[in-house]
Amino acid sequence: MKPLIFSGIFVLLLVPMLAARQIPTGELDLESFVEERFSFQEEDIDYEDLYESLLQVHLNPLDLQEATADQLSALYILSPIQIDSFLAYRQRFGPLISVYELQAIPEWSLETIENILPFVQLEPVSSRQQIPGLSRIKAAENAYLIFRHRRIWQTRKGFTRPDTLHNGQPGSRYLGGPDDLYLRLRLQQPGDFSIGFTADKDAGEQFIWDKQTKRYGFDFLSFHIMLYDKGPWKTITLGDYQLQFGQGLVFGSGFSVGKGAETIATVRRSSLGLRPYTSVLEAGFFRGAAATYKSGNIEWTGMYSLAPRSANVQLIPDSLQSAESYLSSLVGSGLHRTPSEIQKKGQAREQNIGFNLQYQSNNRGFQIGSNLLHTLYSQPLLPMKRIYNQFEFSGRTNYTGSIYLSYNFANHYFFGESAMSKSRGRGYIFGIMSSLNPHIDLSLVWRKYDRNFHSFYGNAFAEGSRPINEEGLYLGLNFRPGRKINWSAYYDHFSFPWLKFRVYAPSSGNEWLTRFSYRPHKKLHTFIQWRAETKSRNLMATEQTGNSYLLATGKRNNFVWSLSLQPNQWWQFKSRVQHSSFTINGQNTQGFALLQDLSAHLGNWKFSGRYSVFDTDNFENRQFLYEKNVLWAFSIPALYGQGSRFYLLGQYRLNRKITVWLRWAKTVYTNRESIGTGLQEIQGNEITETTFQMRYQFNR
C-alpha cells in the first residue's frame, strides 16, 4: 500500500513542474507527419485512402487511459520500447492526470509527445454519453460542413468540340464541365458516434439526376452511421465502412503503406476493426451493415455488404438466341465522363459476407483471431487470358479465411497471419518488432503469397500492390545514439515465382534505403536519404530476339536532401534537393528537382508557397513532390521533362465557425508544346490549377 501512496504523491508533485515546460499544442501537421514516415512517394499507393484513414484516427482519437499495445502500435509513431514504457508507467501509477504527465514517461521525448498528441485524448467519454440522443448529436465536438471546388483552367481535348472519325461518327468527348466538386458533412463525437455524408464530382462528369445511369447529382455518394460502445456492442455501423484485422491478408483497409523512411512501426498491421469509409475512391470499401459484439476477452464481428461496382460487361450469345453476360474486368478509376465510361458504372453487384472472431488476454499482450470473407459477383468475372495472368481469379464466388496472432513480450512484438483462398492458394506473413535497447530498434518480416492466392480486400506488407505471387524477407533498423541524431535503414529481398505484367518470366529483386536525420533543436531539422531498387522487366519489342521473352535488370536510385528551419512560431523555411537515376540494358537516364518552401502563420492568416524546378530524361525519373493543400486534400504531382512549378496556399479564419482556403498552382514546361495524351491532352506548355474550400464548424 505504501508504494502506491508514494507513487501517487510523486505524480501529484511532478505534474505541476512538468506543466511549466512548453508542451506541443496537439495540432496535426500533415506534411511533417507524412514526410517523417512515408517520405518516398510512389504511384501505386492510394494516398487518398491513406490520408482519409489518418483523418479518422485524428478525429476519433485513442483514449490513452485504455489504449492497448496493438492500438498504440497502429499510430506508427512509437517504438516497441516506448509502448512498453508507457504501459508500465500506466500500470504503476494508474490513469494519467494530464497530458503534461506524458513527459514523465521514460523514453518519451517532447518530439514523441508532439507527434502523438493529435491522435490521442485523456478525456473520458462516459460523461458525454449521458446527454440525450439528439442533443448529443447537436453537441458533437467534430461537426462541420466542407465544400471544395477545383479546376484546371487550360482546355483539355475532352472539353473541345468532337472531331469526326473515319466512319463518320463524332469522336468521344467529356459530357460534363471541367469543375471538380466535393462536399462533406460530418458529425462526430469521439468514442460515441460518427455520422457522415460525402459527395464527389470529377472533372468531365455531369452534374445530373439520372436513375437509369445511377447518377444522382454528384457522381459518387457515400454515407455512414457508426455507434461506439453501446453496452456490449463495441461498434455498430450502417452505410460505407472498412475493416482491418490481423496483418491484412483478408481485411486490410486503412492507414498502412509498408516500406518507407519509418523502418520499424510501419511493417506491422494492427487490428483496428470497423472504421467508417469517407474517401471518394469508388472501390475498396463495403456498403451495408456490420457490428462488433464484445463479451469478456472475446469480440465477434459480422458484416454484410452489397455494393455496386463499375465493370466491363461482355455478352455471350447462346443457342436459344439469348445472351449471357460476364465481367471481363472491374473498373476502379471512378471516372464516368464519356458515354463508354458511364456505360460501365454500377454494372456489377458485389456481395460480401464476413466474420471475425478475436480473443485478447487480460494483460492485452496476447491476441489471436480468425477471419472469413465470402464474395459473390452478380456475373462471372472472366478476365481475358494473358501470358502473365493464368492464375488470377476467375468465376463468381471466392472465399478467403485466415488465422492471425500477435504477442507482446517486454520490448518485443511478434505477429503473423496465415490465410487460404478458395483456389487453395495460401498467404503467409510473420514478423517481429523489437527494441534491443533504448537506442536500437529492429524489425524482421517474412512473407509468402502464392500465385493463386486471391484476396480482394487484402493490404498486407508486400513489394507489389497486392498480396499475390511474391516471397520476400525484410530487415529494418533504427538507431538513435542521442536525441539529435537518428539513422534508419532497411533491406528487402523479394522474388516473384510466376510471371507479372511486363515481366514474362519468374524474377527477383531487392531494395534498400538508408536515412540519416539530424535535429540539433526543435527549430532545425535536416536529413539525407538514399534509396536503391533492382527489378527485372521485359526488354522492349525491338530488343527481343527469337520467340522467347528476354528480361533485363533495371536499377533505380533516389537521393533526397532536405533542410527545414523554423526561426520562430510565425515563419518556416524548407529546402530540398532530389536526384534519381535509372539504368537498364546498358542505358542510364537521370533526373533531379530543387524546391524552396516558405510558410507563415500571421494571426487569422496562414500562407505557404513553393517554387521548384525539375529536369528529367524520361518518365522513369519522374520526381514526386509532396505539396501542401487545402485541409484534408493532398497533392503529389509526378513531374518529368523540364520545367518549373510553383504554388501559393492561403488560409483565412473569418470567425470561429468559418474558415476558407484558396490554392493556386502552375506548372510550366520548357521542352514540350502539349501536356498529356488522349482526351486529357492540353495544347501548350502550361497547366494552371485552383482550389477553393470553405469549412463551416457548427459547434464553435
CB neighbour list of residue 463: distance below 8 Å, 6 or more residues apart = 259, 470, 472, 492, 494, 509, 511
> What distances in angstroms separate CA 120 from CA 56, 62, 123, 244, 578, one per listed residue?
12, 4, 10, 19, 34
Q: To the nearest whole percent, how much of the chain has pLDDT over 90?
A: 59
More confident site: 575 or 112? 575
What is residue 138's predicted lDDT score, i.e. its pLDDT?
A: 74
Q: To the nearest whole percent, how much of the chain has pLDDT over 70?
A: 87
- Given a cut of 90, whether residue 112 has pLDDT beyond it is no
Q: What is the pTM of this model?
A: 0.89
What is residue 36's predicted lDDT score, i.e. its pLDDT?
A: 64
- In this structure, the strands spanning 507-521 and 524-538 are antiparallel
Cβ-contact 539, 585 below 8 angstroms: yes
Cβ-contact 630, 639 below 8 angstroms: no
What mean pLDDT is predicted for residues 74-88? 83
Angle at the Cα of 329 (from 328 to 334), degrees rounded to 5?
Answer: 140
What mean pLDDT is predicted for residues 593-613? 95
What is residue 535's predicted lDDT score, i.e. its pLDDT?
A: 94
CB neighbour list of residue 445: distance below 8 Å, 6 or more residues apart = 267, 429, 430, 431, 461, 473, 474, 476
What mean pLDDT is predicted for residues 482-490? 92
What mean pLDDT is predicted for residues 260-284? 87
Radius of gyration of the chain (CA): 26
What mean pLDDT is predicted for residues 366-380? 96
Q: What does the mean pLDDT of the chain come to?
A: 87
CA proximity to 619, closest of 677, 562, 575: 677
pLDDT digits (tens, 9 = 90+) for 609-619: 999 999 999 99
What mean pLDDT is predicted for residues 343-347? 92
What is residue 9's predicted lDDT score, i.e. its pLDDT?
A: 47
- Given a cut of 50, whether residue 436 has pLDDT beyond it is yes
pLDDT digits (tens, 9 = 90+) for 86-104: 888 888 888 888 888 888 8
Distance from chain centroid for Cα 2: 48
- Given a cut of 90, whether residue 423 has pLDDT beyond it is yes
Q: Identify the residue whose cell numbers are 536519404.
A: 529
pLDDT digits (tens, 9 = 90+) for 302-328: 999 999 999 999 987 664 555 588 999
| Cα(652)–Cα(578) distance, integer angstroms | 32
What is residue 257's predicted lDDT score, i.e. its pLDDT?
A: 65
- In this structure, the strands spanning 120-121 and 62-63 are parallel
Q: Hey, which bits of 138-232 come out as E strands?
A: 142-152, 179-189, 193-201, 208-210, 215-217, 220-230
What is residue 96's predicted lDDT score, i.e. its pLDDT?
A: 85
- Given a cut of 70, whether residue 256 has pLDDT beyond it is no
What mean pLDDT is predicted for residues 262-276? 88
| Cα(38)–Cα(628) distance, integer angstroms | 15
- Given a cut of 70, whether residue 248 has pLDDT beyond it is yes
- Given a cut of 70, whether residue 689 has pLDDT beyond it is yes
- Given a cut of 60, whether residue 202 has pLDDT beyond it is yes
What mean pLDDT is predicted for residues 227-243? 94
Dihedral pair phi/psi, residue 9, rounded to 5°: -65, -40
What is residue 83's predicted lDDT score, i.e. its pLDDT?
A: 85
DSSP for 473-517, please give it. Answer: EEEEEEE-SSSSEEEEEEEEEEEESS-BTTB-S-EEEEEEEEEEE
> What distances in angstroms separate CA 699 from CA 26, 81, 131, 133, one per listed residue?
19, 39, 15, 16
What is residue 582's predicted lDDT score, i.e. its pLDDT?
A: 96
